[in-house]
Amino acid sequence: MADKKQNKKQNKNYDEDYNPRFRKQRKKVCVLCSDKNFVLDYKNPEQLRKFINDKGKILPRRTTGACAKHQRDITTAIKRARHIALLPYAQN
Ligand SMILES: [Zn+2]
């Protein structure tokens, strides 16, 4: 009887540890909000390269972790950089 009760408890712990719904979520913090000295510049392709993938596409907010306001700034900066040929529109 006592054993049965213990097994039930262990199973419950197992579910909480491995059920993806209970997985710990790492809170992403916006790079531009957290770093006050970080000034986004469309004339600096090295800086903008962090926000595009290897195909030259702009990374989504879920990947960059940027807030809505700064993601807009990043997008604008990348598009400006592309226009003056500092960044590619597409690769391969
Ligand atoms: Zn931000």
Tokens (6 digits) for 25: 């979520």
Q: What is the pLDDT of residues 31-42, one digit of tens each?
A: 899 988 989 999
Residue matched to tokens 């809505």: 68
CATH number for the domain running over 26-83: 4.10.640.10
85 CA distance to ligand 1 centroid (A)?
26
Per-residue model confidence (pLDDT) at position 71:
96
68 CA distance to ligand 1 centroid (A)?
7
Tokens (6 digits) for 9: 């408890």
33 CA distance to ligand 1 centroid (A)?
4
**Residue 28 pLDDT grade (very low, low, confident, very high; cuts 50, 70, 90):** confident
Tokens (6 digits) for 8: 């039930």
Tokens (6 digits) for 84: 């003056």
Tokens (6 digits) for 13: 């712990």
